[in-house]
Amino acid sequence: MTSSHNSPCNRAHSPAQNRGRKQAKPAEACPHAARCGGCAYQGIAYKEQLDKKQEYEQKLLSSYGSVSRIIGMDKPYHYRNKVHAAFGRDRYNNIICGSYEESSHRIVDNTACLIEDTRAKAIIEVIRRLAGDFGLKIYDERNGTGLLRHVLIRTGHKSGQILVILVMASTFFPSKKNFIRELIRECPEITSVVININNRRTSMILGDRQYTEYGSGYIEDTLCGITYRISPKSFYQVNAVQTELLYTKAIEFARLTGSETVIDAYSGIGTIGMTVAGHVRKVISVETNTDAVKDARRNAKANNISNIDIYADDAGRFMRRMADNNETCDVIFMDPPRAGSDKVFLNSILKLMPSKVIYISCCPETLARDLAVLARRAYRVTAIQPVDMFPWTSGIETIVCLERR
């Protein structure tokens, strides 16, 4: 799953202080690092970041098997294709926008970021200026007044398409048409603009209602030769370059022959299942998020992938029903959220007993916890491959291959 810029799992193994560490080159230094806290490895050379992540993976996972050398990025900058900026005002009443300071809702007014898409950051700066020019009321989180709360931008790595989501506290948007017209005039690279309404006193970024103001309301991007539709709420890996490498390695570990039935659990918009579909007889894709399921079904149809069945369901309960009905599968690909899997899902694996489980994890701590269940008796770990999906942060993606004993 996608790692957030600033998350509990990331902070769990971030360095307390980088005292005595090799300092980054000037081009790598971020002036906002001290307040932002999103990039735990600021001031550490990239090779040393990889060494630290490798050391941590070995500490947590080496009891299950040999941990391969972490795969890093050739160009570990500006890889995030999903960029969020919270809006507010400083004590001088200037409009500020950026990420939240670590463990708070204080906005870090960052005009540049080492890991976020540069096109997205430039568009956010235009929106900031236009908000001032148009007298747009900025949301005040303390008293719940104002209009513009957040801007969320999603970019296509290969398509170049850009989706801008303006998160508003109300449907009342004075001079909306003129505002968006001017935004498109200044940023013609924008593919679509969506207005999302979030009128609740909540830390959630997106509200339940939204409407398209310009373009199609989504973007498309290509991953491993398959084109995906990405809507405002869709899950999509934030680092497209490393995701292709991640999926290629996962398929390699599965050693597929073409005759298998596989389950893609926690499937999101279907990226893993559709990448695997060309290598197997049948894919069963299971995802709880109904928006993601709709996108997945569209994606399968648009790419003429006919050997995939997509279900809106809890994967653990779905697999338990399969086992109760004496149905089988050969391989499970699982990519759970940061919290890892749960007892229902893990027990359903042990009941269904596929020959292989390919576990893709974005949190080494919960991965180690879940492996303790799966590798205790029924499975043995045959491969562990860390992938650096999130340079400059302490996040690590890991692929583990488990084979039935």
* Residues annotated as catalytic (active site), given as ranges: 362
Residue 330 · residue 403 · CB < 8 Å: no
CA 397, CA 14: separation in Å to the nearest integer? 15
CA 3 to chain centre: 5
Q: Which residues contact 289 (CB under 8 A, 6 or more apart)?
A: 233, 235, 268
- Residue 213 in contact with residue 193, Cβ under 8 Å? yes
DSSP 8-state secondary structure symbol assigned to residue 333 = E
> DSSP string covering 46-76, please?
HHHHHHHHHHHHHHHHTTTS-BPPPB--SS-
Among candidate residues 325, 255, 318, 259, the one with its CA nearest the CA of residue 285: 318
* Helices (H), ranges, 255-380: 271-277, 290-302, 315-324, 343-352, 364-374
* Angstrom distance (rounded) from CA 87 to CA 128: 8
> Are the beta carbons of 4 and 203 closer than 8 angstroms?
no
Gap between the terminal Cα atoms of the chain: 28
250 near 399, Cβ under 8 Å? yes
DSSP structure string for 261-291: EEEEES-TTTHHHHHHHTTSSEEEEEES-HH
